[in-house]
């Protein structure tokens, strides 16, 4: 097979049949592709957006899968690690196919390589809009001081609160809410994937979510405390609770943080999380005319 030739498809089953073993071979690095693909499989092709998703695989000369792409517009393109030549070949394939690419999210070097290639190929402007670090839980170290209250799994009575906090979390992290907030809340309630910390009088003050187990890993996301309630240890307490429950299943426990915010990065390391890799998002603006 000719090197750097990408095979693109709109068929999720075809993509998973080709790339499933490859993605599961390094579940931490591939965690987002795995969890998004699982959501599309279980909740339908529009679980992550109103436009149909696109998939792709890159095979080596022996026919083995070398890399993948997953795109759920209007989100950025998601890529597994690539070399510069492979990124350039992908940019050429997508441009020739007329595929609109609003941005790219991938491991830091891969996203930079694709952004550069897309700029050269299309004349678009590329700007790095977010830097993230992926962490893996080594050994949970609970907080020294736990605030008054308790953790509890959210239920149907919390649906409106979850939807509201999802929207606020997206705004706080500089992202618009790309899912309907109530659909997001329902998806978390369906698998017990939202845990609240509440004060002794029963007032919810912080949220830690998690995604369903996939390929032996569980990713904690999101962690959110309303601005007026921060600084009391609520986020650390509820994150420790969710992390401990996830670890007790035997799964590898992961989470992402925004590198622009040092507070959660320090918190998660105190809880026992250790860095795995850095990722970046680049946003593209098409040339005028």
Q: What percent of the chain has pLDDT over 90?
A: 88
Residue 105, both tokens = 């999210």
CA distances (Å), origin 182, targets 41, 62, 73, 188, 284? 20, 46, 20, 10, 29
The more confidently predicted of residues 195 and 171 is 195
In this model, does residue 96 exceed pLDDT 90?
Answer: yes
**Rounded mean pLDDT of the chain?**
94
Residue 106 has a pLDDT of 98
Lowest mean pLDDT among 19-23, 47-51, 267-271: 47-51
Task: Please report which confidence band the pLDDT of residue 212 belongs to, taking 50, 70 and 90 as the band edges.
Answer: very high
Q: How far apart are CA 121 and CA 237, in angstroms?
A: 48
What is the dihedral angle through the alpha carbons of 32, 42, 242, 258, rounded to the nearest 10 degrees? 30
Residues constituting the chain:
289
Assign 1 a pLDDT band (cuts: 50, 70, 90). Answer: very low
At 87, the pLDDT band (50, 70, 90 cuts) reads: very high
15 has a pLDDT exceeding 70: yes
Confidence (pLDDT) at 48: 79
Neighbouring CB atoms inside 10 A of 83's CB total 14
Q: pTM value? A: 0.94
pLDDT (mean) for 199-206: 98
How, if at all, do strands 252-258 and 217-224 pair? parallel
Write the Ramachandran bin of 224: left for phi over 0, alpha for psi from -120 to 50, otherwise beta.
beta
Which pLDDT score, from 0 to 100, does residue 2 have?
54
Mean pLDDT confidence for 206-218: 96
Range 165-188 average pLDDT: 86
Amino acid 49: pLDDT: 76
Sheet (strand 54-59) strand order: 6-9, 54-59, 65-71, 77-79, 103-107, 273-285, 125-137, 252-258, 217-224, 204-210, 194-198, 150-153
User: In whole angstroms, what is the distance from residue 107 CA to residue 124 CA?
Assistant: 21
Q: Is the pLDDT of residue 253 over 50?
A: yes
pLDDT at site 43: 87
Handedness of CA 174, 178, 181, 183 (dihedral sign): negative
Query: Residue-wise over 257-271: b if at least 16 C-beta within 10 A, else e?
Result: bbeeeeebbebbeeb
Residue 240 — very low, low, confident or very high, per pLDDT cuts 50/70/90?
A: very high
Residues 8-36: what's their mean pLDDT? 96
Distance, CA of 215 to CA of 20 (rounded, Å): 10
H-helix segments, 28-139: 31-43, 84-96, 108-122
Q: What's the rounded Cα separation, in Å, for the pair 2 and 251?
A: 38
CA–CA separation, 133 and 73 (whole Å): 23
Whether the pLDDT of residue 4 is over 70: the answer is no
N-to-C CA span, the chain: 38
**∠ Cα 2 281 211 (to 5°):** 95
3-state SS class at 272: coil
């Amino acid at each position: 097979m000719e090197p750097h030739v990408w095979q693109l498809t709109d068929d999720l089953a075809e993509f998973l049949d080709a790339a499933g073993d490859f993605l599961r071979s390094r579940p931490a690095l591939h965690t987002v592709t795995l969890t998004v693909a699982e959501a599309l499989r279980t909740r339908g092709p529009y679980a992550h957006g109103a436009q149909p998703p696109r998939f792709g695989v890159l095979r080596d000369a022996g026919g083995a899968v070398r890399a993948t792409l997953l795109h759920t517009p209007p989100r950025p393109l998601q890529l597994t690690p690539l070399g510069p030549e492979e990124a350039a070949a992908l940019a050429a394939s997508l441009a020739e196919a007329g595929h609109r690419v609003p941005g790219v999210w991938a491991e830091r070097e891969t996203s930079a390589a694709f952004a550069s290639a897309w700029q050269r190929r299309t004349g678009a402007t590329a700007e790095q809009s977010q830097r993230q670090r992926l962490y893996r839980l080594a050994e949970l170290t609970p907080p020294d001081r736990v605030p008054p209250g308790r953790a509890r799994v959210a239920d149907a009575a919390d649906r409106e609160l979850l939807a509201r906090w999802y929207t606020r979390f997206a705004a706080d992290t500089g992202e618009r809410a790309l899912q309907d907030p109530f659909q997001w809340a329902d998806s978390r309630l369906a698998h017990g994937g939202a845990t609240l910390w509440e004060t002794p009088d029963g007032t919810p003050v912080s949220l830690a979510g998690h995604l369903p187990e996939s390929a032996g890993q569980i990713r904690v996301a999101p962690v959110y405390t309303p601005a007026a309630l921060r600084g009391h240890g609520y986020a650390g307490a509820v994150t420790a609770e969710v992390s401990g429950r996830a670890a007790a299943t035997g799964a590898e426990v992961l989470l992402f943080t925004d590198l622009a915010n040092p507070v959660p990065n320090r918190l998660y390391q105190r809880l026992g999380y250790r860095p795995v890799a850095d990722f970046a998002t680049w946003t593209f603006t098409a040339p005028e005319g």
